[in-house]
Structure 1
Amino acid sequence: MAAKSESYENMIKKLDDIVSSMENKELTLQETMKSYEQGIKLCNKLYKYLNEAEGKVKILSNEQEEDFLGNEE
C-alpha cells in the first residue's frame, strides 16, 4: 500500500487542504501548478491504496464464500 507513515485519512486531509487553498486564495500561476502537481500525486497514491484494499477485500470475500459453500456439502 502507500507509505506506511502516511494513512489514507492523512492523505485525504492533505488533498482537501490543497483544494481549499486553490479555491480560496489568490495564488500565482507557479503556486497553482505546484499545488495541482501535489494534488495529482496524492490522487495517484490514494487510487493505488484503494485498489490494493479492494483486492484484499475480494480475496477475503472469496475465501469466506468458499468456506461457506464448502461447509454446506
Structure 2
Amino acid sequence: MAHTPQPAPYAARKGELVWDSALDRVGEVTDDRYRLRSPGGGAEWHAERCTIRPATRVEALRARVAAANAESRKGRE
C-alpha cells in the first residue's frame, strides 16, 4: 500500500486573518507562535499550526462586521 504524504501545515504570517478549526472562529495572527485574537480585539488564544488555514473572504468579512458592530454598540451602553 502506497503512503500518501500529508500536506504541510499552513504557515500564517503576523497580521493575517486565519480560520482556527479547533474553535471554529476567525483570528488575527499576532506573533510567530500562532497567538490569535479576534479582529475586534479581546483575549488572545493559542492555535496549533495544524488547525489553522487562511480565512475565506466571507469568513474575514463576517468577523470584521461583527467587530464593527460590537464597537458601535460600545458608545450606546
TM-score (norm 1): 0.35
Choose 1 or 2 for highest CA Rg. Answer: 1
* Higher-RCO chain (CA-CA 8 Å, sequence separation at least 6): 1
Higher percent of residues as strand? 2
Higher percent of residues as helix? 1
